[in-house]
Structure 1
Amino acid sequence: MSQTVRSPSLDAKLSTLSEPLRRHVVREVADRTDRTGDALAAGTLVPEANGEHRKSTLVELHHVHLPTLAERGFVEWDADEDAVRRGPAFEGLLSLLDTVADHENDSR
């Protein structure tokens, strides 16, 4: 029997996008992968930073943000291979991120 993937609620999508690092990860995955299933190394998703800030951001990415994105179906994350790819609910989140970004510019 096949399992139906439920689309995350609007609240889950908005909660996901409330974190700047998660918005950054979604944008990077969108810009650097296509729908063929290509994966990115999770470490390459961290915004440019040096030293301790980069280390703490990597820890946060691996222990908070990637698990959240994966649990909600927005990405598929293989922690053993440190690989991230688009998940089954990715396109819906990306569409909302594009809408949010459009309106973000309106408030400036």
Structure 2
Amino acid sequence: MKTLVSYDIVEDKVRRKVFEACKDYGLTNVQYSLFFGDMTHNRREELFQRLRRIIGRQEGKVLICPVCDKDLRLSKAIEVSAGMPEEAAEAAVSYPGRSRKKARAG
């Protein structure tokens, strides 16, 4: 099942270890503190336990969220090109499994 892993970790060293653990489990870094990928229930539990050990008593939050195919098909994303003037920026709206549509940002 597709899985989202999101985290907000204060300490740089701990945050790097969480980042590396997510990569070790085959997840793709899609935003600064957000990973996405396929994981079985057992692999999600293993990752949860590993992240629990990494974080220990440090300040932070982690969310591991399974996403079913139905909900994934309903997801939407907006991506705006960096460095473009606001009036010229185009937002690319993507729908997994369907073609991308271009929309004007503003």
Does the alignment reach a TM-score above 0.5? Answer: no
Q: TM-score, normalised by structure 2?
A: 0.28
Between Structure 1 and Structure 2, whose CA radius of gyration is higher? 2
* Structure with more of its chain in helix, by fraction: 1
Q: TM-score, normalised by structure 1?
A: 0.28
